[in-house]
Amino acid sequence: MSRWVLFALSLASAVPAGADSSLSGKAIKILDGDTLIIVTAQGDRQARVRLAQIDAPETSQAFGQRSKQSLSDLVYGKGVQVAVEKTDQYGRLIGVVHVDNLDANLEQVKRGMAWVYPQYAKDPSYFAAERTARDAKTGLWAQSDPTSPWKFRHSAKPSSVIIKPGAEYEDELGGN
């Protein structure tokens, strides 16, 4: 088993389903605008953390790199506290990241660097922050018609191509 799988399993057992807990560490890598890696305060393990309640643009999407840089500016190299809500099916900790008493998740929304993830968000202040950012055309809201990450991911899936057995030429290939 890979180290990531073993680590994810150890974290999953350490964070009971449905129970909130806290984890302290240092942000050592920013993967995108809503995901980072921390090393625990004890320095004995790393954790992949997905920011709860928000969804940032994919790195290949408009504002994706800016969102990643924004999260980096907020937390990279700094001590963070993660209020862990749960562990997802990919072994990531889902939680609210605090740095210097600042809610980094909420700050990403305020900066116009992330959407509120409507099916997972429960804090009304996130929705209010998004409305304010939209009205002020802050960050990604300066675009005329920004595409949400969940729609972008859905549209970015490649269409399936069916190859007929024995097909040798393009006109013999099936498709959508």
**Domain coordinates in residue numbering, the chain:** 3-172
Closest CA to 8 of 37, 47, 51: 47
Pick the CATH number of 3-172 from 1.20.120.350, 3.30.160.250, 3.30.360.10, 2.40.50.90: 2.40.50.90
Residues 8, 86: contact at Cβ < 8 Å?
no
What's the mean pLDDT in 81-92?
Answer: 97
Contacts of residue 114, defined as CB under 8 A and 6 or more positions apart, other chains included, come to 33, 34, 51, 54, 55, 56, 57, 67, 105, 108
**Euclidean distance between CA atoms 85 and 96, whole angstroms:** 8
pLDDT band of 14, cuts 50, 70, 90:
very low
pLDDT above 80 (res 174): no
Q: How many residues does the chain have?
A: 176
Q: Which of 15-24, 38-47, 97-106 has the lowest mean pLDDT?
A: 15-24
pLDDT score at 172: 36
What's the mean pLDDT in 128-134?
Answer: 99
The residue ranking higher by pLDDT, 167 or 22, is 22
Q: Which residues are catalytic?
A: 50, 58, 92
pLDDT above 80 (res 63): yes
